[in-house]
Structure 1
């Protein structure tokens, strides 16, 4: 009995973490969607926030329905898997594009196709929606949840994409370390590295659970893995806040300013470093950068 209570306490912690993730990702979507100028990576981050919002929302609904042992749990959990696929897709694209921009900056600057981020975002959502829709149709029409569509999702979502993210994270870390003396990593690189590392740390156990098809394992283990994954989908707002702030600026500056600082262009980042070399007060530097 105590073990069951402990398991449900873990599931309650997952729900509370997901509620925090809904609020945080909703805030990111509002600011990036309506108040910050779009660029390559802010577009990806915006779609990633939408995918993370769907992930924590559907996970919350799935667990609430699971408490009441309703059959619709499988449909909601399928939507959860679909948004997970989208989130992993955006993390993969972000890591690959950032590797290209760091390792081959001139090629990336002059030969990258325009509107590539918009097209890739549409493709990721289309694939995730297609797999999710087919799976829901199979369950509603035939009452079958574990089928070939699930097998395809497991291979793509829990083997191919995490492997690409792992490789790109390693390559990006090596590339940034090699260039550290001449080109210290900016705010955007720092945020992306944190997102990728936390995904591997907190999302990794859940990925392993799904790749090995351990859905029918002990409830405590399942709750523990989902708690870690919910943290991974809910913590990104903290990254933007910590990386985007400046110690010499006022601590109560709006989150919008911190996000603008994270996603500012490389030219603005260079300008910021030049301002630091001038004989200006911290207040003057902050006012210039946030103007």
Structure 2
């Protein structure tokens, strides 16, 4: 997103604040940054646990590969969001806000942050589309789906997220963003189109398809946990992250005029992105415990139940028939 507009130098320019409200604004933004940093640290614990078990202990299937990469993206996002908040707190109330190399360091943080945010969005889109296709065309997926498709897709999506982040942060700098240069305008339209006009409709359409599938399945038995995990993760992302992508574009069009609106949007977007990444591992644990009978409640068993390939077995039965 267009976070490069909110460079650290903006916090030090008191002309952007109403003189009577500048101290209050600094306090509010410092509290927001501290809350976001605490949320990031809390979310890191859950995502590290999920990544460890999925990567090293739980047998992988075509869907857990996406979840592993999604968790890695969340880990990156939470780590660099926490560092961004530390830099912002130092800029707001620290004794050395303009340390040497701060601009380059801030740009580096933004590149990795945007990389993780965009890649996570693409992983969510890919997994729900693949789950939807597997439900609609089970025989085709069983017979013709390449076994390495998940790994190949994840590599391509990492490259896509990295390319988008580099283009946005290097071709649309703070000055270009403020001046609305043609190149920066093209970059903003590209990122807005990818998130709002491509990923969002695909997520919504696939989610509704899976919801219909759940309604059909639950007439005879409990729905697969993976369905619930994917739909819940998509809903959390859509509700928490997508609206701020839209607001960033409005800000670029200068429909948000004051610096208070800009900085408030900046901190709110990072806070909600961190919240989205923090919620996912705890959602996995919760869904993994649903409908348990006398099975173990260990972390391994909980995550294994959450991501077990029960749907693959159902597809194989359909194919055999």
**2:243 alignment partner in structure 1:** 205
SS of the residue 2:63 aligns to:
helix
* Structure 2 runs not aligned, ≥5 long: 1-22, 92-101, 315-321
Task: Quote the Cα distance in structure 2 between the aligned partners of 1:268 and 1:173.
Answer: 19
Cα offset for 1:174? 3.1
1:16 to 38, 41, 51: 38
Cα offset for 1:49? 0.5
On the 8 A contact 2:34/2:89 being kept in 1, the answer is no
**1:195 alignment partner in structure 2:** 233
Please, what is the CA RMSD of the aligned residues? 3.0
Task: Quote the Cα distance in structure 1 between the aligned partners of 2:206 and 2:174.
Answer: 44
Change (3 A) 1:29 1:152: farther
Which TM-score applies when normalising by structure 1? 0.80
Task: Quote the Cα distance in structure 1 between the aligned partners of 2:63 and 2:182.
Answer: 34
On the 8 A contact 2:168/2:188 being kept in 1, the answer is no
**1:97 alignment partner in structure 2:** 130
1:87 to 120, 129, 135: 120
Task: Quote the Cα distance in structure 1 between the aligned partners of 2:161 and 2:183.
Answer: 12
SS of the residue 2:60 aligns to:
coil
Change (3 A) 1:196 1:49: same
**1:59 alignment partner in structure 2:** 81
**1:278 alignment partner in structure 2:** none
**1:115 alignment partner in structure 2:** 148
On the 8 A contact 1:206/1:225 being kept in 2, the answer is yes
Cα offset for 1:97? 0.9
Task: Quote the Cα distance in structure 1 between the aligned partners of 2:129 and 2:51.
Answer: 23
Task: Quote the Cα distance in structure 2 between the aligned partners of 1:164 and 1:44.
Answer: 19
Change (3 A) 1:258 1:163: farther
Change (3 A) 1:179 1:224: closer
**1:285 alignment partner in structure 2:** none
**2:269 alignment partner in structure 1:** 225
Change (3 A) 1:248 1:258: closer
Task: Quote the Cα distance in structure 1 between the aligned partners of 2:78 and 2:33.
Answer: 13
Cα offset for 1:119? 0.5
Per-residue Cα deviation, 1:107-153 (whole angstroms, up to 9, x for no partner)? 222221220110111111223334445667779xx997757886666
Cα offset for 1:22? 1.5
Cα offset for 1:213? 4.5
How many residues matched?
268
**2:49 alignment partner in structure 1:** 27
Choose 186-195 or 102-111, whichever is displaced more: 102-111
Cα offset for 1:45? 0.4
Note the 1:1-291 alignment, pairs <5 A.
1-69=23-91, 70-71=102-103, 72-133=105-166, 146=177, 154-180=188-214, 182-184=216-218, 185-213=223-251, 217-246=261-290, 248-249=292-293, 253-266=297-310
Which TM-score applies when normalising by structure 2? 0.73
Cα offset for 1:186? 0.9
**2:18 alignment partner in structure 1:** none
Choose 180-189 or 216-225, whichever is displaced more: 216-225
